[in-house]
Structure 1
Amino acid sequence: MVEGAPLAISLGDPAGVGPELIAAAWAARDSQELLPFVVTGGPDVLREAAARRGLNVPVRQVFHPNEAADCFAFALPVLDGADGEYTPGEPSRAGAELALASLHEATGLAQAGEVSGIVTAPVSKARLAEVGFEHPGQTEFVAYACGYAPGDAVMMLAGPNLRAVPITVHIALSEVPHQLTSALIERKARITAMALARDFGIERPRIAIAGLNPHAGEEGRMGDEEARIIAPAIELLRAEGLDVSGPFPPDAMFTARARATYDVALCMYHDQALIPLKALDFDQGVNVTLGLPIIRTSPDHGTAFGIAGTGQADPGAMIAAICMAGDCAMRRAGLFDD
């Protein structure tokens, strides 16, 4: 990573809220103290999205990320390259191709060390599939691009009030008991602990692990996964010196009092992690990928085609994703004073 390199932001689906939120984040750059960033493509899309939102956002096309710092104070830097039409609320194949090209470019720049990290704006997985995207989501794509197996990249949702990691992610709920293993819990807990220390400055993170069943199984009356799978993983992780506790009844571990006792919650399936995060921190929630050689964050919301171009979308999660990526990059560079 080049010292002082900017962040890269991928455009996301141009028919969604991504472009207008990127423009809104740049407009708030001073008040939010954002590090310089460059957008990978879509200069015309960004101009029109900003204008539709009523924002004065001059767009400056640049040819290399290192030009971003020179103009960031007075213009939104956008790398010369792919572009398209701004059609809010009307996704198209051309828009999906632009989103994918932008994602490829941002990831490649991070791998080459030309940017300090990437922030990925929301995409439509269904639309991307139509243009050859074969991954469950952007998390898996970035992991694959880095040469990592999907299981070695951990998705963490983070906001001001909660950090949560789903152990199983994009699978049917009926498949969770079959996919859940002690080894999977152990691997994701280790990756999470290492990443929280390296990228978030938490030297010895406290990890709370949720049960799978109501009341954490209630001593086997409502399922045996806690005793058979989860508790052995916790015992092994403790033996390795990690600060791990649980399994806790999922319906009680997200209260304010409970959250004060841990730094991250490891949850057994997707909604067990995302429902409390979105209930507590929807407008500031960030999806961050742990365990990779590059930094990647994303606002924890979707394309919101239904409100794209209306000015209703809140830029809080995009700004939070940019701030988090910048903080992580500074810690990796040894520039962040915790």
Structure 2
Amino acid sequence: MKQKIAISIGDLNGVGLEIALKSHDEVSKLCSPIYCINYTMLHQGAKLLNFELPDNLQLHEVTGEFEIEAGKVSYESGLYSYNSFVEAIKLCEIKQADAVVTMPIHKEAWKLAGLDFVGHTDLLRKYFNQDAIMMLGCPAMFVALFTEHIPLKEVSSHVTFEKVANFLFDLHKSLGDKQVAVLGLNPHAGDNGVLGNEEREIEKAITHVNKTIGKELFHGAVVPDIAFTPSFRENFNYYVAMYHDQGLAPLKALYFDESVNISLNLPIIRTSVDHGTAFDIAYKGDAKNLSYLNGIKSALNFINN
């Protein structure tokens, strides 16, 4: 029996629906997708795409109707993408789905809709009252983010022994005995305090966590500008970045089309495409689906492991 995957449809003014529809035949060979969208919105989007709907689509009703406007930021599309995501979560909670795979939302549209979340992971964190971890990547390289969508000037205040240690313990619970490179915050990983003291907090946390779990799994603080070089990556494909762009700039430079977003340390499995709504190409038929297919496969891997 195939696993059931709830598909949160994302912002309908973007590329999510196109990707879901063009991938349906291939995805259906891997699992049983349940699309969180109502027929009215699905039919409207399919008409804009000039796409003939398959007969075997399984839908889960999401209330709301509005006019899809390709590439437009709107509160209607923001609210609908939020409702689709919440319905997908609920399907997992009541065991009618085994995992959630999300299409991209638009953060500004969520804000216009009055939603007090900066993204999927933030919503999951508050919904389940657990410290969800955002990890992005593909089998060649995964990057877990110690901090996510916060101003750069605030990152250093978060880099404390206690916070880093708790993060590493949670990451270990999710990943098991993987070798993980933990990046420093500052250039040259602080140069022994010359360029900053945050690395001392990171290193204390690494020592404590490794000693507690009884294995040398976490390594660092690694100098950030050498961490993603070919020779270093021969020994590591799991990383912890101290802030968003530190980890995602190299990841997207190397594996933009194939990377996925995975939420760890939660009671449900959630993966996502690792790209945005791509409003500039919405409903033009040009959206790529590799990240979505990898998101489906990653969700299935987590279910089966």
- Residues 42 and 83 of structure 1: CA distance in aligned 2, closer, same or farther (over 3 Å): farther
Aligned to 1:8: 6
Aligned to 2:205: 233
Aligned partner of 1:297 among 267, 271, 279: 271
3-state SS in 1 of match to 2:114: coil
Tell me if 1:267 matches 2:246: no
Aligned partner of 1:75 among 53, 56, 71: 56
Q: Which moved more, 1:184-193 or 1:279-288?
A: 184-193
Contact 1:161 1:280 in 2 (8 A): no
Give the counterpart letter for 2:275 in structure 1.
H
Aligned to 2:167: 188
- 1:51-90 superposed matches below 5 A: 52-53=48-49, 55-58=51-54, 75-82=56-63, 84=65, 85-90=67-72
Aligned partner of 2:123 among 141, 144, 151: 141
Q: TM-score, normalised by structure 2?
A: 0.92
Aligned to 2:188: 215
3-state SS in 1 of match to 2:252: helix
Aligned to 1:287: 261
3-state SS in 1 of match to 2:257: helix
Give the counterpart letter for 1:11 in structure 2.
I
Tell me if 1:40 matches 2:36: yes
Aligned to 2:139: 160
Give the counterpart letter for 1:117 in structure 2.
A
Note the C-alpha offset of 1:55.
4.5
Give the counterpart letter for 1:218 in structure 2.
D
Cα distance in 2, alignment partners of residues 147 and 246 from structure 1: 29
Cα distance in 2, alignment partners of residues 254 and 43 from structure 1: 45
Aligned to 1:18: 16
Contact 2:62 2:83 in 1 (8 A): no
Which deviations, in whole Å up to 9, do the C-alpha atoms of 1:95-122 show, x marking residues without a partner?
Answer: 2221121111111111222110101111
Note the C-alpha offset of 1:16.
0.7
Give the counterpart letter for 1:18 in structure 2.
G
Cα distance in 1, alignment partners of residues 288 and 75 from structure 2: 26
Give the counterpart letter for 1:278 in structure 2.
K
How high is the sequence identity, in percent, across the aligned residues?
33
Note the C-alpha offset of 1:262.
2.1
- Residues 20 and 46 of structure 1: CA distance in aligned 2, closer, same or farther (over 3 Å): farther
Cα distance in 2, alignment partners of residues 260 and 48 from structure 1: 48
Contact 1:107 1:145 in 2 (8 A): no
Q: Which runs of 5+ in 2 are unaligned?
A: none
Aligned to 2:300: 326
Give the counterpart letter for 1:314 in structure 2.
K
Note the C-alpha offset of 1:54.
5.3
Tell me if 1:103 matches 2:76: no
Aligned to 2:282: 308
3-state SS in 2 of match to 1:284: coil
Aligned to 2:114: 132
Contact 1:19 1:45 in 2 (8 A): no
3-state SS in 2 of match to 1:97: helix
Contact 1:167 1:268 in 2 (8 A): yes
Contact 1:211 1:268 in 2 (8 A): yes
Contact 2:142 2:237 in 1 (8 A): yes
Aligned length: 302
Q: Which runs of 5+ in 1 are unaligned?
A: 59-73, 198-203, 332-338
